[in-house]
Structures are given as C-alpha cells and as structure tokens.
Amino acid sequence: MSKKKVILITGASSGIGFDAAQALASRGHKVYAAARRVERMEGLKALGIEVVKMDVTDECSMMEGVKYVLEKEGRVDVLVNNAGYGFFGAIETVSMEEARRQMEVNVFGLARLCQLVLPAMREQGCGRIINTSSIAGRSVFYFGGWYHVSKYSVEAFSDALRMEMKPFGIDVSMIEPGAIKTDWGLIAADHLRDSSKGTPYEGDAARWSGTMRHFYESKLLSRPSVITRQVIRAVESRHPKARYRKGRLSGTTVFFHWLLPARWWDALMRRAGRVSFC
C-alpha cells in the first residue's frame, strides 16, 4: 500500500473516532469520517477531513457511503470500524429489540462494511481492516451481558476474517481499549439504571450504575489519544498485529479474567457492584 492511505472511519463524531480521524489526517492520510450526527463533525471539516453521513444499521446508508469514497478516490486502503455503543442491563430485562439493536450496531454493521469494502481491496491487491473491539471481548463485567456478547462476536469475526483475507494481501487487526475517558461509560451506566427500574435487579443495578458513573467521571481513565496511537500503528505498521490492547486496566483485567476461577471472578464482580458512590 502507498504511504498515504485512503481511510474510512466510522463512529467519528466523538470520542476515539473523532480523535483518531484528526490524528490520521494530520499525518497526511486522506480521511473520510462517517457518523450519523454529522453536525458534530464541523471541527473535522476544518482540517480537510471529508464527512460522510452514515448509519451502520441502515444498508442503503452504508452502501452509499462506501460508493462515495470509491467514486472519489478509486480505492479504500483502510476501513476503521469504530462505531459502537454499550447497553448494560440484566439479560432477563433488556428487551430483545434492544439486544438486537446492539448486535446490529456493534457486529452486523461492522461485518456489512467489511463486505462492502473487500471487493475493492481484493481488486487492488491490498488493504487493511481495523475493528474496534474491547477488553469487554476478553472479559465479562456485572450486568454487561449483551454488550459482551457483541464484543466477543467482534473478536471471533475478526479472527476468522484475518485468516480468510491473508491470501489476498489484506490485513485485519483489532483495537481492544481498556477504560477510556469518553461518554461511553456514562451512557452505559444510564442504560443500566433505566432498564432495571421496577425489576428484581433494580437495587444491584442502581449501585453498579453509580459505581460506573463515578469511575467514568474520575481522573483514573486513559485519554482517547492513547487508543489513537494504537490505531495509527495498525494503519501504518508494515506488519500490523492482530490485536492492539491499551488503556487503563486493559492488561490487568484480561489477565485476571483468564487467571481466576470463574466463581472467583463472579464474586469479584458482584462485590464491586455493591460499592455505591451515589
């Protein structure tokens, strides 16, 4: 691939996606920043970044977005699948409609975009796909069931895709953020509180929601730029790694989830969920 790449990045209206789009553009890459809320990306336009309105739950929106980039550039060198969100709540009480929506955004939208860019990448004989997973794809937290299902799915999907794409010169990497200072945790905490009201889980869920909110409002988290540096490595490395894990608690969480017996990990999560900062 050429040194300066044509990059399509989703979920670019805030957080990691916004930060990564800026950084990649500053390094000379041609960046197409996609999101539903394009009004939040005026700052990216000022940097010469092309803004694309895209909803990863809408087939026509995704097809038109990829077509737009291909018509303007004739190629897509890198797809960064960054769009996603977290909905926490007890598995029994989260509606199947919401569970399906989370899978649609975090998994099926990601997968469909891969399908849409792969023909062009195969034709050009090279390409790179970078999927944003999470340490939530390597460990499980209290009340995070459906979110973890989605991120474990991204892990399996990316591993399978990496093997399939190797003969075509296309690399597949995953970004596995730890605790990052974005609105993600606050939104997930609110979802947990709201989805559990009036259910048998309300008490524990309210306390865990308070714990999450306190943590994500604290200064203990890593900045999005920590993950942006990993995205840059995945984009520019001659031989990109399968996984880039970074951010506060990322290594220790995955290690202890692997090390501890399941009943110990479960007890640790339940105990943490009883801590209230409200």
Query: Which residues are within 8 A (CB) of 160 and not within 5 positions of it... i.e. 6 or more apart?
Result: none
User: Which one of 142, 147, 201, 216 is the catalytic residue?
Assistant: 147
Give dist(CA 146, CA 99) in Å, integer: 6
Expressed in angstroms, the distance from the first to the final Cα of the chain is 52
212 contacts 189 by C-beta, under 8 angstroms: yes
DSSP codes of every residue in 84-136: -------TTTS-HHHHHHHHIIIIIHHHHHHHHHHHHHHHHT-EEEEEE--GG
Give dist(CA 258, CA 78) in Å, integer: 32
215 contacts 257 by C-beta, under 8 angstroms: no
Active site residue 147: yes
Query: Which residues are within 8 A (CB) of 12 and not within 5 positions of it... i.e. 6 or more apart?
Result: 18, 20, 21, 33, 34, 35, 41, 44, 82
Which residues form the catalytic set? 147
